[in-house]
């Protein structure tokens, strides 16, 4: 690359490779065989992730009418008292947050009665 009239940035743009990849390959020398299975991938789920069927079960519990006025923590402990544990409290909170983002779950606030006149 030193004799070329293109800069490294221009050459990388031409072939569609990021500069960081070029420097990574350059630092590795001749053996740049990278196992891509070990590189971070934002779309890969960890093996300990909650299965989708369990997530759906938690979603159905969160949407039950008897839990409409309760917080996520109260729902979690009520279910735990009944002997049902679907996931950790924090996981249940994450699922509820995702449901809120998608518009599936809306925490119902208690509507207090108006103070009587008189």
Q: Which tens digits make up the pLDDT trace of 76-104?
A: 999 999 999 999 999 999 999 998 887 77
pLDDT value at position 79? 95
- Residue 35 pLDDT greater than 90, yes or no: no
- Specify whether the CB–CB gap between 8 and 22 falls below 8 A: yes
CB count, 10 Å around CB of 93? 15
């Amino acid at each position: 690359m030193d004799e070329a009239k293109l800069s490294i940035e221009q050459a990388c743009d031409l072939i569609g490779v990021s500069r960081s990849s070029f420097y990574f390959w350059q630092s590795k020398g001749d053996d740049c065989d990278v196992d891509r299975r070990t590189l971070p991938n934002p779309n890969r789920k960890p093996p300990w992730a909650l299965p989708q069927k369990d997530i759906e079960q938690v979603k159905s519990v969160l949407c039950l009418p008897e839990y409409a006025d309760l917080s996520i923590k109260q729902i979690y402990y009520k279910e735990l008292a009944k002997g049902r544990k679907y996931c950790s409290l924090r996981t249940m909170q994450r699922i509820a947050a995702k449901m809120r983002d998608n518009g599936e779950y809306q925490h119902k606030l208690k509507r207090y009665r108006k103070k009587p006149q008189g």
